[in-house]
Every structure is written in C-alpha cells, then in structure tokens.
Amino acid sequence: MIVVLQRVKKASVSIDANEKSAIGPGLLLLLGIETADTSEDISWICRKVVNMRIFTDQQGVMNESILERDGDVLIVSQFTLHASTKKGNRPSYIKAARPEVAIPLYEQFIEEMTNQLKKPVSTGEFGADMQVSLINDGPVTIILDSKNKV
C-alpha cells in the first residue's frame, strides 16, 4: 500500500464538474492499493499518517500531528501509484489491485482512518475520473509504502 501524503491549506475532489468533497487545513492522501495488501498494511499506514509530526508548532518546528491539529483528511484512491515503468513507455499496473480486492480495502482504510482520527474523513469516489485541487502547504509531501517499513 502506498500513500502520498500532502499537507494542505485546502483540497477538494470533483467528479463531472461537481464538487464531491472539500477540506480545509489538513492532509490529502492519495491511496494506492496493491494485490498483496492486507489489514496489517492499512493499520500501519493509518497509524503513521495520524501520528506523523509534520505540522508546525508555536516555535515554527514541524512537531505536531494531524491529531494535535484536529485537521481534516481527504482520501483519494489512485491505482496509478503502483505503475511499473521499467519496460517501455507505457506504465504497467499489474501490481495494482483489481476492484474486487481494492474496494473492500479502500473502505476499510476509510473506516480505520476515521476511527484513529475520531472524526469523519472526506473521500473521492473509487474508480471515478476525478479532478483533485489542492493548495500544498509548505510544500510538505511524503510517500509512505507499507512494503518498505524497515
């Protein structure tokens, strides 16, 4: 499981020119699910996200988490995070989970993130053609890969 975490001043996702979700200050999470992912991957990533100290404290040091900030979270599924570009110029998505595997894991990820934050999260729509807008804060962008924990 891969998450591209972006600290944002605001972010939104639209489908067919209609805004589905929008958040204020917080985190935009682009979520890529692969065939080998499990509940353990979800727990590890969610724990890392909610506890990552990437918000500035009163001294201007990145020392606070999304929990301490009570910030918003927007989760957008993005299978292209698992693109393999080793051969040729057309990316291969062979590692990306098919919808029958990915959708239950996506829903479980949303539930776990909601539970750990102790408040609802905003989402895109799995499999939809989405337009994502954001104002990256910092910029702070971090990649988390549950298969690369060590």
Residue 24 lies in a domain: yes
The reported pLDDT for the residue numbered 149 is 79
The pLDDT > 90 percentage for the chain reads 91
Residue 122 lies in a domain: yes
Q: Is the pLDDT of residue 35 over 90?
A: yes
Mean pLDDT, residues 87-97: 90
Quote the domain boundaries for residue 19: 2-138
Residue 129 lies in a domain: yes
Distance CA 87, CA 74 (A): 33
The pLDDT > 70 percentage for the chain reads 99
Report the CATH number that the domain containing residue 104 is assigned in CATH: 3.50.80.10
Q: Number of structural domains, the chain?
A: 1
Distance CA 70, CA 68 (A): 6
Residue 118 lies in a domain: yes
Residue 143 lies in a domain: no
Residue 146 lies in a domain: no
Q: Please, which pLDDT band fits residue 147 given cuts at 50, 70 and 90?
A: very high
Residue 59 lies in a domain: yes
Mean pLDDT, residues 24-44: 97
Residues designated catalytic: 78-80
Paired tokens of 54: 């990437």
Lowest mean pLDDT among 40-49, 83-92, 109-118: 83-92
Residue 150 lies in a domain: no
Beta strands 26-32; 72-77: pairing state? parallel
Distance CA 37, CA 21 (A): 26
Q: What is the pLDDT of residues 93-139, one digit of tens each?
A: 989 999 999 999 999 999 999 999 999 999 999 999 999 999 999 99
Cα distance between the two ends of the chain:
14
Mean pLDDT, residues 46-75: 96
Q: Is the sign of the CA dihedral 19, 25, 28, 29 positive or negative? A: negative
Mean pLDDT, residues 22-48: 97
Compute the mean pLDDT over every residue in the chain, rounded to the nearest whole number.
Answer: 95
